[in-house]
């Protein structure tokens, strides 16, 4: 019987088990937003997971929206990530980087030359940005010109090439959580009147061009995608999420990607508070490997894999706090609790100091 400990191949990436580390922003990058030795230690500790999906990593300087998030667009960042991939591979693990552009979820303080953040449409999000000098209200972003959108697909492809140079086994295109690609997909944030706005077909155009671009550079078998159909994170929504994402998933079938990472629900809310959405319908439409994500424990994850509803399960907070989660699951051992006060600060504390099981 297939279980969480069964091996699986996601495209070109062979996993020793079906326990995936979900992307988790940790704000520990060093100078130049480059990964440090501490970041390498953190990921190396968690290499027993079948696949590590790194924290979201901006594809260009304009893609940043938070302090100390490691990018994948400069030489020093590539060299920093090489330390990370080596640490994971030396421990027998596999790792893919999540490619990120935050779009409007930024602030001029975080942008080159103090420029406005960019977005599909000039609509200011509710809330505040985290800057190096404290919390500041979001601003109204600048709507991208059509020619800029086409160029950005190439920027994603360059970032994917950088990832291969850095030694990653694959990449995940971040098209969820209210960031740039999700902003194009959703009706609340995309009010364009050109070929990238209006109908769901037009709103999905940019995402499909990005997938075409990255796949042509590094191969479809190394590319995955993150979607989050009903999250309201970053002040985003859609007038018909079921129709929008059924269309998107049907369209991405033609790329024969390594996997679809599907973030269910609305962030950290328990399942009984999720907005209505038929995830089983997406499973029926999608022809590839499906990773389900959000709020799973061992029992619920094991059920989803055994039933065939998922090919693998992504764990966030459990792997954050339990670097040896795979072994703890095998033994039925107790779990460390996450240190929520140090999720985004503290250097090694709440990062690399979680205890392993005693030998």
Residue 344 annotated to the active site: no
From the list 179, 168, 281, the residue with the least C-alpha distance to 227 is 179
Q: How confident is the model at residue 88 (pLDDT cuts 50, 70, 90)?
A: very high
The H or E element containing residue 137 is strand 134-137
Residue 149 has pLDDT above 60, yes or no: yes
pLDDT in tens, 179-229: 999 999 999 999 999 999 999 999 999 999 999 999 999 999 999 999 999
Sequence-distant (≥ 6) Cβ neighbours of residue 348 within 8 angstroms: 38
Active-site residue, selected from the candidate residues 43, 66, 179, 279: 179
pLDDT in tens, 90-114: 999 999 999 999 999 999 999 999 9
- Give me the mean pLDDT over the 283-306 stretch: 96
Give me the torsion for CA of 99, 6, 322, 68, rounded to 10°: -10
From the list 289, 208, 218, 207, the residue with the least C-alpha distance to 256 is 289
* Amino acid 134: pLDDT: 95
Q: What is the pTM of this model?
A: 0.97
In order of start, what are the domains of the chain with their CATH numbers?
55-299 (3.20.20.70)
Specify whether the CB–CB gap between 85 and 95 falls below 8 A: yes
Specify whether the CB–CB gap between 25 and 68 falls below 8 A: no
* Token duo for residue 210: 């990005």
């Amino acid at each position: 019987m297939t279980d969480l400990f069964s091996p699986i191949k996601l495209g070109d990436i062979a996993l020793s088990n079906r326990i995936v580390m979900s992307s988790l922003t940790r704000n520990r990058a060093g100078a130049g937003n480059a990964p440090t030795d501490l970041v390498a230690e953190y990921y190396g500790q968690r290499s027993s997971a079948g696949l590590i999906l790194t924290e979201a990593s901006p594809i260009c300087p304009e893609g940043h929206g938070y302090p100390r998030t490691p990018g994948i667009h400069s030489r020093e960042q590539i060299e920093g990530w090489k330390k990370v991939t080596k640490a994971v591979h030396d421990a027998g693990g596999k790792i893919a980087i999540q490619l990120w552009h935050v779009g409007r979820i930024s602030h001029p303080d975080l942008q080159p030359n103090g420029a406005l953040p960019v977005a599909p449409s000039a609509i200011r999000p509710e809330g505040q940005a985290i800057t190096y000098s404290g919390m500041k209200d979001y601003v109204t972003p600048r709507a991208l010109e059509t020619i800029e959108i086409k160029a950005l697909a190439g920027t994603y492809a360059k970032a994917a090439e950088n990832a291969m140079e850095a030694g990653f086994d694959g990449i995940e295109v971040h098209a969820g959580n209210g960031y740039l690609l999700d902003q194009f997909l959703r009706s609340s944030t995309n009010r364009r009147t050109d070929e990238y706005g209006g109908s769901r077909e037009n709103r999905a155009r940019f995402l499909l061009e990005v997938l075409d671009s990255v796949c042509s550079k590094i191969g479809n078998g190394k590319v995955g995608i993150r979607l989050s159909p009903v999250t309201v994170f970053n002040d985003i929504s859609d007038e018909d999420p079921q129709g929008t994402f059924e269309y998107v998933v049907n369209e991405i079938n033609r790329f024969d990607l390594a996997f679809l990472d599907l973030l269910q629900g609305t962030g950290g809310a328990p399942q009984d508070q999720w907005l209505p959405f038929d995830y089983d319908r997406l499973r029926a439409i999608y022809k590839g490997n499906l990773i389900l994500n959000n709020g799973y424990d061992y029992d619920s994850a094991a059920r989803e894999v055994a039933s065939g509803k998922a090919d693998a399960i992504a764990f966030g907070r459990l792997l954050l706090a339990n670097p040896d989660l795979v072994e703890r699951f095998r033994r039925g051992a107790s779990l460390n609790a996450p240190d929520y006060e140090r999720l985004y600060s503290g250097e090694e504390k709440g990062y690399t100091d979680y205890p392993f099981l005693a030998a």
